[in-house]
Amino acid sequence: MPAMSVIDEVLAANEIYSRTHELRKLTPRPERKLAVLTCMDTRLSIRTLGLKTGDAHVIRNAGGIVTDDTLRSLVVSHYLLGTEEIMVINHTDCGLMHTSEQDLRTRIQNRTGKAPVTPAFFYAFQNIEENVRHQLQKLRTHPWIPESVAVRASSTTSPVGVSAKSKTPDSTEVLYLGVAAG
């Protein structure tokens, strides 16, 4: 019998879980009225943020970038599901910090033999504080994100487990969260 794929293992685990479904009491509304936009990095989880399942909406993508799709999710999170705070988390050692737009496009084209058409941008970046400021600016200037919604950012330092605070030149507070190496 062939070995199970990871997807098969996940489906089997979900079948077992569905028999008890202990999270049934939770609603789609985050208990702590928080939405977190973060990177898809495997080292960052609700546990590293001191959150429990159901506390927050966690929206992930490569780099923790504010895109049309993440804006769509954040607007739904606020207007339909009651979130009142948005936290953007970037981290050091992000895969997007180790490439450029052109290098990534070239890599994909070399592997597939086809020029990438979509996504239009991968949003590679080299400076984490500049990237955080840019993501905050996109949220704070969007007409559908009201000023009453607290929008803050943090950067995790991987693998250093020390937390600190700093202010960028434009007075944006950047929180550095400790994330242990995997």
Closest to 172 (Cα-Cα) out of 158, 156, 151? 151
- Whether 96 and 124 have beta carbons less than 8 Å apart is answered as yes
Confidence of residue 173 (pLDDT cuts 50, 70, 90): low
Residue 81 neighbours by CB distance under 10 Å: 14
CB atoms within 10 A of CB 162: 8
Across all residues in the chain, what is the average pLDDT?
85
Q: Is the pLDDT of residue 160 over 80?
A: no
User: Given a cut of 80, is residue 172 above it in pLDDT?
Assistant: no
The yes or no reply on domain 6-178 and CATH 1.10.1200.10 is no
> What confidence score (pLDDT) does residue 90 get?
87
Q: pLDDT-based confidence at 120, cuts 50/70/90?
A: confident
Q: Report the C-alpha gap between 19 and 4 in whole angstroms.
A: 21
pLDDT cut 90: percent of the chain above it:
57
pTM (whole model) above 0.85: no
